[in-house]
Amino acid sequence: MGVYMIGILVENRKAQAVKVQEVLTEYSDKIVCRHGCPYPNRESGLISLLCEATPEEVNALVSKLQSLPGVKAKAMELEVPTGLKVC
């Protein structure tokens, strides 16, 4: 189990919002924190996730997001000091 930040760019967010939400709901037990904001043009959106999951779970989440048209996602593992619990 590790701690990951996932950045998501959603182009044409009105068309993709429901599909993105379905994927995030599927992995909701792995998401510790979620923050979203519209990109300045308001047609795209940025979402950041803090997740506590296995590498396989994170890779599956990112792959499902990237399979959606106009959605880009990247994950970064964070090194958490031994004994520190995220939540």
Would residue 86 count as lying in a domain?
A: no
84 is a domain residue: no
Q: Kindly report, residue by residue over 15-36, the tens digit of the pLDDT.
A: 999 999 999 999 999 999 999 9
Number of domains in the chain: 1
**What does the pLDDT read at residue 65?**
98
- Which long-range CB contacts under 8 A does 77-86 form with residues at least 24 apart? 77/2, 77/3, 77/4, 78/2, 78/3, 78/4, 78/5, 80/2, 80/3, 86/3, 86/32, 86/50, 86/52
**What domain range is 12 assigned to?**
2-78
pTM of the predicted protein model: 0.88
